[in-house]
Amino acid sequence: MSRLLNGKVALVTGGTSGIGLASAKELAEQGAQVFITGRRQAELDAAVSEIGSAATGIRADASMLSDLDAVYAQIAKSAGHLDILFANAGGGDMQPLGAITEEHFDRIFGTNVRGVLFTVQKALPLLREGGSVILTGSTTSIQGTESFSVYSASKAAVRNFVRSWALDLKGRGIRVNVVSPGPVRTPGLGGLVPDEHRQGLFDALAAQVPLGRLGEPEEIGKVVAFLASDAASFINGTELFVDGGMAQV
């Protein structure tokens, strides 16, 4: 059977849950060897057994540069190169202007911006010509959301990174793009509010989506596999929204 990503080597950061896990599964189903990272060992082990024999888990915090060095040392040793990098690890929580702390800002920008930057920069020696780098953005990169300004600004930064990086990587044949989900049913989204308010949050967000529902992680995974593949060979520097139309109307 011909698969989109036969023989490719991929790294998915934050590959143990939600969008990252679904994407890692899709990349593996399309024939790639997949390395995944996350900070929690138990979740890492569970994700590796869910993805199957194509997966290798490496415990690492994407905001820690020494952890990133260890990740790339292991990939260099066992695979020798990378074709696909999905820099997806990230997240945030809600604080209105007036209550934002240094800790809140540093933690969110530390993972979503600084972590993404060094995840990509440190991958460059391993990335082969024809490689694909995909970052996880968000509809918040172009929209305002109450109490979510730090997270939203971090995703606007992510979107802008690829505009410049497409130029910095000129001549290397490496494409770099952002996939920007709308609300997707993941532990990360549900964790924004206490358990008893989760369904209310999901219903309120679904009501803002023209398709009238949340996205599923697998729907993002399929787009990540497409951007990673040669089918997207002339797509570069773009932000691809997967949001049921939420930020497009």
Q: List residues binding ligand NAP (CB under 6 A).
A: 13-20, 37-40, 43, 61-63, 88-91, 111, 115, 136, 138, 181, 183-184, 186-189
d(CA 37, CA 88): 10
- In terms of phi and psi (left: phi > 0; alpha: psi -120 to 50; beta: otherwise), the region of 112 is alpha
**CB of 214: closest distance to ligand NAP in angstroms?**
8
Nearer Cβ to ligand NAP (86/165): 86
**CB of 159: closest distance to ligand NAP in angstroms?**
12
What is the DSSP pairing of strand 127-136 with strand 175-181? parallel
**CB of 33: closest distance to ligand NAP in angstroms?**
19
**CB of 242: closest distance to ligand NAP in angstroms?**
9
Q: Are 5 and 33 in contact (CB under 8 A)?
A: no
Write the single-letter amino acid at 60.
Answer: A
Catalytic residue (choose from 151, 161, 226, 241): 151
Nearer Cβ to ligand NAP (19/174): 19
Nearer Cβ to ligand NAP (4/71): 71
Element (H, E) at 135: strand 127-136
62 phi and psi angles, rounded to 5 deg: -65, -15
Nearer Cβ to ligand NAP (173/210): 210
Q: Which residue has the tokens 């920007």?
A: 180
**CB of 131: closest distance to ligand NAP in angstroms?**
20
72 catalytic per annotation: no
Q: Are 187 and 201 in contact (CB under 8 A)?
A: no
Contacts of 202 (CB under 8 A, 6+ apart): 183, 185, 189, 190, 214
d(CA 184, CA 80): 34
Nearer Cβ to ligand NAP (109/165): 109
d(CA 14, CA 229): 20
Q: Which active-site residues does the annotation give?
A: 151
